[in-house]
Amino acid sequence: MPRATSDAKLLIQSLNKAYAATPTNLKIIDLYVICAVATAVIQVAYMGLVGSFPFNSFLSVCLRIQVNKDNKEFKDLPPERAFADFVLCNLVLHLVIMNFLG
């Protein structure tokens, strides 16, 4: 047992050290992602209890992936373009939901 707790402490320390080097704009996006995931969990629980279709709360993950400079797949994509894509997708999503709700 003591070995597992020391391994867990080492893991947490290394994650904290790596996250300290993360740029502030990605930390802000991470906060938004946490909020969106919490909203999605609440919506899925609501769907399970009431039986209605939940909204899509995972668009922020796409923004985080595109803005991250370490991601080689989107290295040529400017952050302004990624944010514009995010805003456009949110607008379309919310317009569809408002239309669906009446």
59 with 89: CB under 8 angstroms? yes
Task: Report if residue 3 sits inside a domain.
Answer: no
> Which among 46, 77, 42, 39 is positioned nearest to 60, based on CA atoms?
39
Task: Report if residue 17 sits inside a domain.
Answer: no
Task: Report if residue 15 sits inside a domain.
Answer: no
Average the pLDDT over 7-30 and give the result.
89
Task: Report if residue 9 sits inside a domain.
Answer: no
Q: Where are the alpha helices (DSSP H) in 1-102?
A: 2-20, 24-50, 59-67, 79-101
Domain that holds residue 41: 23-68+76-101
Question: How far, rounded to the nearest angstrom, does the alpha carbon of residue 30 sit from its chain's CA centroid?
Answer: 6
Q: Say what the pTM is.
A: 0.47
Name the residue with higher pLDDT: 17 or 65. Answer: 17
83 with 63: CB under 8 angstroms? yes
Residues 31-83: tens digit of each pLDDT:
888 888 888 788 777 666 765 444 445 566 677 777 887 888 888 888 888 88
pLDDT number for residue 55: 47
Task: Report if residue 6 sits inside a domain.
Answer: no
Tokens at residue 50, please? 């009431």
pLDDT number for residue 12: 92
Number of domains in the chain: 1
Task: Report if residue 44 sits inside a domain.
Answer: yes
Q: Say if residue 84's pLDDT is above 70.
A: yes
